[in-house]
Amino acid sequence: MSRITPRLAASLLAMALWLTADVHAAPSPTEPEPPAQKKKPPAPEMKAASKEAKPARPAPAPIPVVGGPVAPDDHALRYYASLKQMARVNAELTRLRRLYPAYEPPADLYEAPGDGGVDEEPLWALYSADRIDELKAAIAAKQRETPTWKPSADLTKKMRRKELRLRIGSFWKAEKFLDLVDYIKGENVDVSELAEEVDVLWTIAEAYARAKQNEDAVNMFKRVLTTSKDSHIRVATIQKALGSLRMADVETLLSSVPGAAEGANEYAPIAIDITRARIAAFLHDERAEEVPVPDMQKFEAYAKESRDANQLGLVAWYDYKRRDFAGALEWFKLAIQNDGDAMIAHGLAHSLRALNMLREAEEVAFAWHEPLANNIILFLDLLETDLTREIPPYIESDRLARYAKVTMEAASGEGAQALAWYAYNSCQFDVALFWFERAVAWFPKDATVYGYALTLRRLKKEKGLYELANRYDGLFAKVIEILFPDGYYHPPTPCDQKGAERLHGAPFRTAAYVAPGPATIPGAPANYDPQAASYLAQKNASTPIDMQIPQEILLQRAMKNIRGRFPAVVAPENPLRFRALPMATNNRAPAHGLPVASESPLRKDPATQPPPLVARRTPGVGAMPYEHYGFSLLPGWNGVETATWPPYSQQIAPAGTQWASQDADPAKAGIAVFDARNPANARGLPPAGYGAQPTPRAPSNAYAAPGPRDAPPPAAPAPPGAAYGQYPQPVSR
C-alpha cells in the first residue's frame, strides 16, 4: 500500500494553514511561508491571456495550492482510494468540491499507481485468485524493473498468510496429517501470523490429534481459547475439541478454562454436548467415572424433549453399560417409538435377554434381522441353546421354520449345526443330514463334523463316514473315535427305542430347505432337565471302568472293521459347497450377486505330490484314539511328534485375543445370569475380561474323548444318573 509522501505531507500542511487563515487577508510577514513547491511553467496560452487581461486594482495574493496553480491537489483522495477506504474517499471528495465546486474526480481514481509509481492492482488480482506462485513471479519481475520498489506491507502479510492457508489446506484435503504436522514444525511456522485465521488453527489442532500428538493438539486449542476475545469462537473451539480429541484430553482442555468443565458461563449452551461426549467416552471404555447425576438428569430431560431416537438410545446404552437393564429397556422402547433404527432394536433385544425375557428378545431380533447383521447373529444365538440341548424341547413349527429360513439366508454354520443337532436328537436323521452338510460346508468344527459322522453312521452311509474320518484324521479325535470305540457300554438312546419315528412332528419342507419338526419326546419335564428326565435308557447305567473290554479284543475288532478303508488317501479339502438362500429384500450386500463357490471356476493349486496315507500331527490337537494301540502320526509341519496336552480347546485362552473376549463375554448366557454366577463382574467393578484372570477354556463339546492311556485324563464323565449316561452330549460350542 502507498505511504504518505513528502509531497502529500506538504499538501496537507498547506490545507491546514488555509483553513485557519482569513481568505481576504494577506499573509502576515511574521507567519512562516508554506513549503516551496516546484511549480510547472505556465502554458503559452495562459501567458497571452494574462497579458491581455489586466485588473483595475491588484487582487489579494491567493493561498498557494500544492497541486499547482490550476488543478487541486488530489493526492490524499488517491491515497484513500488506493486503500479502498470509501468513507475517507467521500469525505475528501466533499472537501475538494467545497474548495473547487467544478472539481470532478479522475476516471482512473481507483487505478492509480501505488507507492513508487508501481500499480499493485494486478498483484492484488493474483492474490484474490489464490495464484500465489504467479504473484511471487510478478513481484520478482517488478523488483527487477524497479529495484527500489517493495510490495506494500499489507500485501506481503496477506500473501504469507494465504500461502500458509493453501499449503495447510492441501495437506488436509489429501489427509496427509503427518506431512501437515511436519510442515508446521519444519518450517517453524509462527502461528501468531494466523491469529485472524481461526479455522486454520482449528485445522492444525485437528491434524495434531489425527497424528496422535494429543499434547500439541490440546495446546493449539488452548491457544485459541486464551487469545480469542470472541465468545462464539471460544465456544466453537470447545465443540471442535469434542469432535477431535479423546475425552481425557478434552477434560484437560476444559479444566484450563474457567466454567467450561461445568458447562457454566458462556459455555452453558454446549453443556449438553459436553455431557454427550462424556457418555460416549464411558460407553467406549475411555472414561471410568460415570457421568455426574445432575448432568445425566439434564441430558435425559433433553433427550425426552427432543424425541430424537439417537439421543434416547444414548441414554439406553448408558444404562445398559451400567447394568441397569430395566432402565435400559424403558429407554430403548422409547427410542423405538420415536423411529429408532435396527441398532436401537439390537439394544432392546439385548436388554430383554439380560432380563431373561428370551422369547421377547427372539421376536425383536427377528423383526429387525434384515436391516442389521448383528440382529441375525443375535436371533440365531438366542434359540441355539434350546436347539442343542441333549433332550430337545418342544419348539413350535413356525419358529423352527423361520429359524431355518434365516439360517439359509445368512449361510450360518452355527445356525445349521443347531438345527442339525435338534433334528438328530429328535430322531429326524434325514433332516439332520441336510443341515450337518451345510454346517460342515459353512463352519466346520469338532462338534459339527462329529455330528455329521454320527448321522452318516445312523443312515448307514459307510463310504461317506470313512471319507470323512480320513479327511479329518489328525484334527478331530471324536470323529476317529467312531472307528476306534472306547470299549464302554453305552445305554440305548430314545431314538433306539421302538416307535422313535413318533418322537417328532412333521418337518416343514420347501423347495430350498427342510426344517425339522418339533420334538415331542414323551415324559420330558417342563424344564427339560436331563437329570430329572425319565427315560427307559436311565435304567441301564454305564458299565463300570473295571469291566471294560480288553484292548487286544478292541484292536482286533477295530482292525477288522477298518481294513482297507482307514487310513486311506482322500482329497484334503472340504468337498461340500452350498450357496445361501437369497433374501426377499434387495438391500443385500453386492457380494451376494456374485457366483457362489460351487459355481465359480476355482482353480486348484497344482499338487506336487499325492496326499500322505497317514495323517500329520496337528499342533494344538490332542492324541488320536488309535495312538494307545501303538500307531502314530507323521510329524507335524513344524516337526512336532507328540500330541498337545491339554489340547488348545481345553487351554486358557490367550489374553487379548478374540477367543478370550468370547469366553469373557456374558452376553451369551445373559448378563444378569452372568453377574449372578460371577459376583466380581457385577455393577461397580470392572467388566468381564478387563484385567481379570481368564478362566480355563471349556472343551469345544461336552463329550470330549478320554485321552490316551499315557496322558492325563480329561474331566470326569457324566454321573450314572444322566439320561444318556456316557452317550455324547451334543452342544454348539
**Domain shared by 156 and 103, yes or no:** no
Query: What does the pLDDT read at residue 672?
Result: 59
Mean pLDDT, the chain, rounded, equals 76
**Domain shared by 89 and 174, yes or no:** no
**Domain shared by 255 and 393, yes or no:** no
**Domain shared by 557 and 413, yes or no:** yes
Question: For 454-460, which contacts have Cβ atoms below 8 Å and span 24 or more sequence positions?
Answer: 454/424, 454/482, 454/728, 455/420, 455/424, 455/429, 457/482, 458/424, 458/429, 458/495, 459/429, 459/430, 459/433
CA distance 93 to 166: 39
The whole-model pTM stands at 0.67
* CB of 80 closer than 8 Å to CB of 92: yes
CA distance 484 to 557: 9
Query: What does the pLDDT read at residue 714?
Result: 37
Evaluate whether residue 130 is within a structural domain: no
CA distance 100 to 92: 12
**Cell 427339560 identifies what position?**
528
CA distance 436 to 169: 58
**Cell 448321522 identifies what position?**
455
What does the CA dihedral 700, 703, 705, 706 come to, rounded to 10 degrees? 120
For 92, the grid coordinates are: 475528501
**Domain shared by 92 and 237, yes or no:** no
Which of residues 557, 580, 602 is at a domain's end?
A: 602
Closest CA to 485 of 315, 618, 629: 629
End-to-end CA distance of the chain: 80
**Domain shared by 527 and 382, yes or no:** yes
For 432-515, strand residue ranges (E) read 508-509, 514-515
**Domain shared by 378 and 258, yes or no:** no
Evaluate whether residue 444 is within a structural domain: yes
User: How far is the CA of 679 from the CAs of 340, 673, 696, in angstroms?
Assistant: 33, 10, 18
Chain-centroid distance, C-alpha 111: 56
**Domain shared by 429 and 483, yes or no:** yes
Query: What does the pLDDT read at residue 432?
Result: 97
**Domain shared by 106 and 255, yes or no:** no
- 3-state DSSP call for residue 616? strand
CA distance 724 to 729: 8
Evaluate whether residue 557 is within a structural domain: yes
* CB of 240 closer than 8 Å to CB of 221: yes
In terms of Cβ atoms closer than 10 Å to its own Cβ (0-12, 13-18, 19+), residue 103 is: middle
Query: What does the pLDDT read at residue 479?
Result: 94
Which of residues 262, 291, 306 is at a domain's end?
A: 306
Chain-centroid distance, C-alpha 256: 30
Count helices and strands (H / E) in the chain: 28, 2
Evaluate whether residue 348 is within a structural domain: no
We report the CATH number of the domain holding residue 270 as 1.25.40
* CB of 132 closer than 8 Å to CB of 159: yes
Strand partners, 45: none
Evaluate whether residue 447 is within a structural domain: yes
CA distance 676 to 364: 25
**Residue 196 DSSP symbol:** T
**Domain shared by 459 and 527, yes or no:** yes
Which residue type is seen at 251? E
Task: Name residues whose C-beta falls within 8 Å of residue 517's C-beta, 6 or more positions apart in sequence.
Answer: 397, 400, 426, 428, 431, 504, 505, 506, 507, 508
For the chain, the C-alpha Rg in angstroms (whole number) is: 45
**Cell 487379548 identifies what position?**
656
How many independent structural domains does the chain possess? 3
- Sequence length of the chain is 733
- The H or E element that residue 236 is part of is helix 231-244
For 626, the grid coordinates are: 488309535
For 454, the grid coordinates are: 454320527
CA distance 78 to 112: 7
Evaluate whether residue 126 is within a structural domain: no
Evaluate whether residue 651 is within a structural domain: no
Task: Name residues whose C-beta falls within 8 Å of residue 37's C-beta, 6 or more positions apart in sequence.
Answer: 7, 10, 64, 66
The CA angle 277-283-288, to the nearest 5 degrees, is 90
* CB of 315 closer than 8 Å to CB of 330: no
Evaluate whether residue 246 is within a structural domain: yes
Concatenated DSSP letters for 340-385? --HHHHHHHHHHHHHTT-HHHHHHHHHHTTTT-HHHHHHHHHHHHH
- Give the domain range for residue 12: 1-25+32-38+62-112
* CB of 226 closer than 8 Å to CB of 206: no
Query: What does the pLDDT read at residue 711?
Result: 38
Closest CA to 184 of 157, 198, 203, 197: 203
**Domain shared by 297 and 420, yes or no:** no
CA distance 625 to 628: 7
User: How far is the CA of 615 from the CAs of 414, 473, 609, 612, 634, in angstroms?
Assistant: 27, 6, 15, 7, 6
* Residue 403 phi, psi (nearest 5): -65, -40
Rounded average pLDDT per 10-residue block, the chain, 733 residues: 50 50 40 43 44 45 40 71 81 85 80 58 84 86 83 82 84 89 78 75 90 90 86 89 90 84 82 93 91 94 95 96 94 96 96 94 95 95 93 93 96 97 95 97 94 96 94 93 82 82 89 93 49 41 53 82 89 87 58 50 68 89 89 91 88 79 62 60 41 33 33 35 30 33
**Domain shared by 194 and 83, yes or no:** no
What does the CA dihedral 460, 466, 471, 473 come to, rounded to 10 degrees? 110
| Model pLDDT for residues 118-153, shown as the tens digit of each residue | 677 888 888 888 888 888 888 888 888 888 888 887
Which of residues 306, 328, 358 is at a domain's end?
A: 306
What does the CA dihedral 326, 331, 332, 334 come to, rounded to 10 degrees? 130
